[in-house]
Chains A and B, each alone.
Chain A
């Protein structure tokens, strides 16, 4: 398996622009998580899905953030409009109900200027 695949690896955008981050989980995994990592706040859970359904989005910072999972093999995290304070590394991770650890993607480094 190729693991969890995220794209793009790097994104530089101007304040106010829309940003879409993409994730392909491991086939067969029924849970998908979006995390944000910053030096100040560490790893923060933004939202997670089970069987493509959003379960907990309490970590989403504000209405500018939205996430979707239209099918078992694809999820997006969208920021509209983006702000400089959104600059961070965004990780997607997946796992399955039977347990075990998460498998993280390599992340998307977002810079909003």
Chain B
């Protein structure tokens, strides 16, 4: 599988702050970039996704920024809340192979009250 590198591995943010998680990919054929959120004891759940025809996508407090030339994309969580404390995974895929996703290593986010 092609690599997707995610950083940081863990992140502590104060309530109301901005959480930023970064991912870098290698395969230029990737054309779908989702982020998943996982709470303890649960499976990952799709949070937000972007395709490379746009540089940014916003849904509520969550924004994906995409830089095609740098092969990087990031998740920004505005006004972070304790309820956002979870593990976040970036992923990438091509339109082929059943949209088979390659996941990053995950970032454990803790938002302090």
Chain A residues within 8 Å of B, Cβ to Cβ: 4, 31, 33, 42-43, 45, 48, 50, 55-56, 59, 91, 93, 95, 97, 99-107
Minimum CB–CB distance from B112 to chain A (whole Å) comes to 23
22 contacts between A and B (CB under 8 A): A4-B43, A31-B98, A43-B44, A43-B106, A45-B1, A55-B98, A56-B97, A59-B1, A91-B44, A95-B99, A99-B32, A100-B46, A101-B34, A101-B49, A102-B44, A102-B46, A102-B101, A103-B46, A104-B36, A104-B44, A106-B41, A107-B43
B residues with a Cβ closer than 8 A to A are 1, 32, 34, 36, 41-46, 49, 89, 95, 97-101, 103-106
Chain A residues whose CB sits within 8 angstroms of the CB of B42 once the complex forms: 106-107
- A104 in contact with B43 (CB, 8 Å): yes
Closest 5 CB pairs of A and B: A104-B43, A101-B46, A31-B98, A43-B103, A42-B105
Give the complex CA separation of A42 and B49 in angstroms. 20
Question: In the complex, what's the smallest C-beta–C-beta distance from B100 to chain A, in angstroms?
Answer: 6
Minimum CB distance partner of B44 in chain A: A104
Distance between Cα atoms of A97 and B98 in the complex (Å): 6
Which chain B positions have C-beta within 8 A of A106? 41-43
- A106 to B103: give the CA distance in the assembly, Å: 18
* Residues from chain A with Cβ under 8 Å of B43 in the complex: 4, 91, 93, 104-107
Assess the B106–A42 pair: CB atoms within 8 A: yes
Nearest-Cβ distance from residue B42 to partner chain A, whole angstroms: 6
Q: How far apart sit A17 and B15, CA to CA, in the bound complex (Å)?
A: 47
- Closest chain-A Cβ to B34's Cβ sits at a distance in Å of 5
CA distance A34 to B96 in the complex (A): 18
